[in-house]
Structure 1
Amino acid sequence: MTLPFLIQPFIEYGFMRRALVACLALSLSTTTLGVFLFLRRMSLMGDALSHAILPGVATGYLLSGMSLLAMGTGGFIAGILVALVAGWVSRRTPLKEDASFAGFYLGSLALGVTLVSLRGSSVDLLHLLFGSILAVDRQSLTFVAAVATLTLLCLAVCYRGLVSEVFDSTWLEVNKRRLPTLFHTLFLGLLVLNLVAGFQVLGTLMVVGMMMLPAVAARCWMHTLPGMILLAGIVGVLCSWFGLSISWRVALPAGPSIVLCASVFFLFSILFGGRSRLAVVLLRPFFGKER
């Protein structure tokens, strides 16, 4: 029963195969970015930027309807602008970067919803917020695959620089003054690009779950950065596969089902992961101290 449950819908239906391929591509690129976000202590930035792209996506929708090019371009421009403006405000005012992002992303979310409501329906708004993974066409699939490929190539080429910025940014600033800004800008660009690709599949609200939950869960098990990246990617792939299979069998929304699978693994990891072992702490009063 288990094997047919996991493979039957992807054998019989083309739209399920396209959804699976899109999710697998996103899993490999977004989870890697999520690991670096987690290590930078910027986990909520992904959530902020996912809402920040909504006004640009909505503007593209108002101008050209459900055009992938128009909505993707608008979302990318909006996300980059919010990231740059929020960083500039944090440098020029007493506000920290997280507070600056919070203010801008809340306003962006409200603006995006308002823009969609000017012309669209509640169905269009739900499509932008929660995605329509089972309606992924060849054009969207090609775009997602291209973004994932570009992201992985850029991360592979700039891996040492990104790691240096995360763990020893002071040394990088002293010895190579312009590189930290270059790496930070590249990272933000890749982050926004993946969020734009992800909204086509999971929506602006759900794509952050695929990005951050496997990355945070991997930290509960792994001690090294390559191990975290590898495990996060594997978890993302498995959650995509299981989530789509469960949504097909039980008639649940596909995007939330994938994120719920990732949430289950996250909870399991914080309870039983080798680096967290929360279950041991909770059960210690009942079984006495560890020996």
Structure 2
Amino acid sequence: MRPIASDTFSAVIESRNRIMTNIARIQIQLNIITELAEKLDAAKKNSSKLDSQAKANKNWKKNQVIQMPEQIVVSYKNTLCSIHSCNCHIKCQLQYIEGMGSTEFKRCAAFGSQDICSNHVCAEFRNNTKCTFEHPYHDYKEWRTTEKTVEVVYDDMQQLYHASVTEKQMLDVEIDHNKGRIAFIKHASEMALIELLEECRDMVQKVKGFNLIAYIDVVLEALNKNIEDIQDVVRRVELKAKVDFFMALLINLQNSQSSNRLTYSRR
């Protein structure tokens, strides 16, 4: 065997070290990309779920038409119930009675000398309470039912909506951050692959028959294991492309006479 000059030997050692460094770097980068891709996929699913939840509860505030009693001013005197918001007697013919509790209200047609109001409308509002002559009063007003539009807030829906929107916003920030990290690491990985290929070619030229297969087999084993663990079809295809690259690299290194240029292509 022809002796190798010390400077050539040093260059071979440096080249080998760079090759091993690139392989280790690529392994780490691929592991990080796989981990980030899993997190990104989970975050996207949660974001979509939260978006649907927010849309389902976005109408937590609605306008609703309700009927409610309201007093209006009129030109005639009425006997009004003080506890049921209703009219005991419209256009009462008694003399105007100040205040409440007067026995004079027994003479009102609504009472007919009885202690309890006989007006059926007033009775509807009683809810098992007794409207006696002590409860009505005279006034130039009348109770009428009016329709009003009110804003109704559904507290449970409101809380779910705001919680969903807030959590989704936080997830979307995380998604954008992980997308940026994946893109950056992918670029770095591609550069490392190119550098690895050049170093391997250089090593084969320096040391004929140099065998790097054992080291690259470690990378292939790790990549194939990652493929088995990944359920997402797109990511499986992408990682499979990296395996194909390393397989082609092995073939290329074993056939140093090949003039075909090896390139890594993302699928």
Please, what TM-score do these two structures have when normalized by structure 1?
A: 0.27
Q: Which has the larger radius of gyration?
A: 2
Which protein is richer in strand relative to its size?
A: 2
Please, what TM-score do these two structures have when normalized by structure 2?
A: 0.29
Which protein is richer in helix relative to its size?
A: 1
